[in-house]
Chain A
Amino acid sequence: METAPADGLIAASWLLIALPLAGAAVLLLGGRRTDRWGHLLGTGTVVAAFVLGLLCTLQLDGRRLDVALFTFMSTGSLDVRAGLLFDPLSALFVLLITGVGSLIHVYSIGYMEHDPRRRRFFAYLNLFVAAMLLLVLGDNFVALYVGWEGVGLASYLLIAFWHERPSAATAAKKAFIMNRVGDVGLALAIFLMFAQLGTVSYDGVFGSIGLLAGGTVTAIGLLLLLGACGKSGQFPLQAWLPDAMEGPTPVSALIHAATMVTAGVYLIARCAPIYDATPTARTVVLAVGAVTLMIGAIAGCAQDDIKKVLAYSTVSQIGYMFLAVGLGPIGYVAGLAHLLTHGFFKAGLFLGAGSVMHAMGDQVDMRRFGGLAPHMKVTFVTFGLGYLALIGFPFLSGFYTKDAIIEAAFDRGDGWGYLLGGLAILAAGLTAFYMTRLMLMTFFGRPRWEPGVHPHESPAVMTAPMVLLAVGSVAAGFLLVVAFPLEEWLAPVFGEPEAAEHVVAPIVVSVLVTLVMLAGVVTAWLFVGRREVPVTPPVRVSPVTRAARRALYADAVNESLFMRPGQWLTRALVFVDNRGVDGAVNGLAATLGGSSSRLGRTQTGFVRSYALSMLGGAVVVAGALLAVTTG
């Protein structure tokens, strides 16, 4: 599709980024003066961006518009221009980011009310929104990269928001480092594109990708995937995401559930022309998605921390999305639809979890919850709707979008298709299991509260966003799949939807998924619901549970494979540098000094020995002269 210069309101879409960025700048530079109204400014800028984004989207009409801004860096044959690309795909993300972002900003006003650093929290949130919008709006890979690392920074700042807690500081650092590993892949992909094609703009790269040899395209695809894995918490870089729950809960909802972690899916969808040209890389995407899907689902079953259950659920759901976009043209729309609905219900679930924590004195251990349903009716209902949407209860959001992915997997038609579809169905069962376990442990059963805890419903400023998100969780799937099909909206990007040849009839898939889901719910009830939940986790458990509790030993592997050898190497090198390299230099100096003092000892102080050496010298000189003149 042709890219046209932007007109009308869309020409001003740079304001989308500038507004929250200005908010962040004012809040950070303004200091304490802005304490009183800082949160309102932060929320206001994001809401304004949402309104602007909505108006832009209404004007878009399926076009692909480019907003040229300024020359960022241009030297030699490299020409990087700062510019924005506004097309149906980026419009979708703009709405998701600013929409969910606005709700979470509003929620945070209540959630962070008693925090002395609330102003800074809103500054960081604004910074995140700006960086994330740059990520999805940039019209070239460098702008994407700038946004990519920008959201990494915002994520770092927000995870470490309560930096007095060593665990929060460590989790933030871990997230940044593991993201950086992925960023190396993204950077190398950009270098490769420039070396091969001489351009880093989307139009330039996608327009001439066909000129490249197959191996090069595959290399680019795999490097991009590495970047996507880092940002989206996919195998093998998934270990940072659960730890990132150290951040305040609104952060987990916005960044680590709804938006930032889905950037990897955006990247792969945006680079569809590249992945369309390399089946090998697409297969790897599929494999990564499938593996992560299972890892997340299994680990989620054994966690006791309510936010960690949701975090592993996020890992697993993004695995679904990777699986979908890895399927290629038949899966892009399904993956993106799930991304959107997931943004609604997972954000809603996190906000609900935050509400519960708020009520329980910041307790996150589900073994200390129980019987909360009558005390927190709004939270219970909104959370419950999000829960039903997530597990794919018929006719709620997850039902439509998850089924679409599973159908697409079967539609591959080969053995892989059946394997992937089967895994996806199995994971749907596991999802139902761990989410039901979470529901039962939190809202049902007998209270197992810590002494002195008096649960209460959260204020309206917190519940209102939860209600809106719950409505979204219920309706989004129907709206996006049936009422206003996403396929048609995205047709300018991914091509017109074809009438798919279904290998397995959709109704069969739906019934099968629903049955497996119900089986998961029932199993959870058998395990958790009908028995008393022990307050301390049982020690004598099966090896499977033990492995699941430790998230299949991802941290252990990272530690023994990278951290310990790295520390050892560092210590060894410090020794080598001090003793070896520097030692050689100091040794040379010492040798020179030593030999000079040893030579000095020949100066005995006895005049006669000096005289003797003078005589000897004179004789030698005379001899030499004689030899020269006579010989």
Chain B
Amino acid sequence: MTDFPWLLAMIAVPAVGAAVVAALPRGREETAKQAALGVSLVVLLLAVLATAAFDVGGERFQLTTSVPWIPDFGVDFALGVDGIALVMLLLIGVLVPVVVLASWRDEPVGRRSMRTFFAWLLLLESFMVGVFAATDVFLFYVFFEAMLVPMYFLIGSFGGPRRQYAAVKFFLYSLVGGLVMLAAVIGLYVVSANELGEGTFAFDTLRQVEIDPDVQRLLFLGFFVAFAIKAPLVPFHTWLPDSGAEAPIGGAVLLVGVLDKVGTFGFIRYCLPLFPDASRDLAPYVLVLAVAGVLYAALLAMGQSDMKRLVAYTSVAHFGFIALGIFAFTTEATTGAVLYMVNHGLSTGLLFLVVGMLIARGGSRQVGDYGGVARQAPLLAGVFLVAGLASLALPGTNSFVSEFLVLIGSFPTRPVFTVLATVGIVLAALYVLLVYQRTMHGPPRGVLLEPAPEASAPGTGSPAPVGGGGATAATATLDAPAAAPARLRVHDLTPRELAVAAPMVALVIALGVYPQPLIDLVEPAVAATMSDVGADPAGVTPEAPGGTD
């Protein structure tokens, strides 16, 4: 079974599925949905089987397939995965069916049909698999750019009111980064031609090329800009809140959950091993961006009134943590960063999904338009809370493991940056609990309010009555507010929504309690990367005896 081209199949199946779904005649929307769900489940199955076929202790790149593609320039259609890429493929496999199911009842905007939506979604899945599975730099670049097209249409055709603006912004940002990277890719080819006599794009060959430090720095920057835009790091982040807010929920989940991870994946796969000297030299500057992102984006998240923008900003903060873990150059931190990439996809994906469920009920994205939902929709509130707690990295959820590993691994080499980033966990608690309290707690209010029988209902959109703690306790009743006539027009999770949320919640908890299998899968690849960049793959050496002061 190990000879089966798993990766090729994972690219081909959704691509063919996309063509089939797109070719379905008008009016066969239900068939389209079912086909999309079926195809995405097949990909999940392929991902699981590929993982089973993957030998953790074996070669770095496994399940390889390589076909000459453009022989004149040494470009191969070369696929292969290490542990890091493999867990990302698993993430894709899990998220796409969930997204398909979550978009089941979405209504198309304008003349478009949901058939097209699902076709683009499957095409996007195919390209995302390709970008993680490519072991040829040129092929990686091709998939990297190709991913933009389906996402552009997902945002631009099926998004919110400002979808055109957001889609164009997304596209331009990514394109600028991509073009800079193209220059660096070509530069890499030229350098390899000079060094080896024959140019190549094969990652494993390029890794062994000794590049002059000054050239390294330029090429590093070329790749870095593309990945920093994609990831996104402050100050290249402003496209994400717009895209995240305007994209349909399914698109937003894949955008933040997987697409953006290409950036951090690129740091680990390309920046560190190919340009080790430049990575070490420029790491302090990257860390400044990372930690600035953690704090700055968290404060911005607190100030957002649009829930989807808020979630997007929390992601920017999380990407800061990931970048910190990668550029601390320790096995512990980088393992944490890779885990963070997976866990963030799950937890923020869940947060986007549950916010989407709330928005589907109220039709408004504003935090201020909701209040007191927990009383009548306890399941919805519970899932929201789990997603929020995962976002603030509470122990027992998956994010805790990754955030803890990133911080504890970064501390020995970069104590100052780590201490600053650790402050971010207080801010994370603040932005999560603020939005949770405003939407779920308190008396019922907002757009979901049932039209009151009398005119004495509290006005909609009034500011949250956040008083000083305890002032009203003296008059509050035990079953407060027992006789409150105000009710919300809201139903709890439907079975379909439960089917969307349940696997995500289960994964969030399971990976929070027993993350070791994932760590085992990832660690060899991380250790290899660490030795590429000149760090000790065995991890941090304790400083004592001797002490620091």
Contact = CB atoms under 8 A, between A and B. Distances in A.
Interface string A564-575: 000001110110
A177 interface: yes
Contact of B423 (A184, A212, A365): A184
A105 B316 CA distance: 43
Interface in A238-293: 242-243, 245-246
B512 to A, nearest CB: 9
Interface stretch (A2-10, A73-81, A336-344, A601-609): A73-81
Interface string B360-389: 000000000000101100100010000001
A211 interface: yes
A75 B337 CA distance: 12
Given A187-B407, A194-B408, A364-B474, A585 B540 contact: no
Nearest to A195: B412
B543 A187 contact: no
Interface string A159-191: 010111111111111101100110110011011
Interface string B506-525: 00000000111001000100
A198 interface: yes
A170 B437 contact: yes
B422 A184 contact: yes
Nearest to A362: B478
A54 interface: no
Contacts of B389: 153
Given A213-B549, A573-B299, A167 B542 contact: no
Interface stretch (A37-45, A143-151, A382-390, A426-434): A143-151
Interface string B416-455: 0011001101100110011001001111000000000000
B164 interface: no
A32 to B, nearest CB: 10
Contacts of A188: 411, 419, 422
B540 to A, nearest CB: 5
A163 B540 contact: no
A156 B437 CA distance: 11
Contacts of A191: 407-408, 411, 418, 422
B442 A177 contact: no
Interface in B232-264: 234-235, 237-239
Contacts, number: 242
B464 interface: yes
Contact of A166 (B404, B464, B479): B464
Contacts of A362: 476-478
Given A573-B299, A585-B238, A75 B539 contact: yes
B495 interface: no
Contacts of A582: 238
Interface in A484-500: none
B27 interface: no
Interface in A545-590: 555, 569-571, 573-574, 577, 581-582, 585, 589
Contacts of A176: 429, 433
A245 B466 contact: no
Given A76-B330, A196-B544, A216-B549, A70 B464 contact: no
B480 interface: yes
B404 A213 contact: no
Interface in B242-297: 296
Contacts of B479: 114-116
B426 A180 contact: yes
22 contacts: A75-B331, A76-B332, A145-B395, A150-B396, A162-B480, A164-B375, A164-B481, A164-B484, A166-B442, A166-B467, A167-B473, A169-B441, A187-B407, A187-B425, A188-B411, A194-B542, A196-B547, A197-B544, A214-B549, A246-B470, A573-B303, A574-B303
Question: Which 8 A-B pairs give the minimum distances between C-beta atoms?
Answer: A76-B539, A213-B547, A198-B542, A76-B331, A77-B539, A169-B441, A215-B549, A243-B469
Interface of A: 28, 70-78, 114-116, 120, 142, 145-146, 148-150, 153, 156, 160, 162-174, 176-177, 180-181, 183-184, 187-188, 190-192, 194-199, 208, 211-216, 242-243, 245-246, 305, 307-308, 361-365, 555, 569-571, 573-574, 577, 581-582, 585, 589
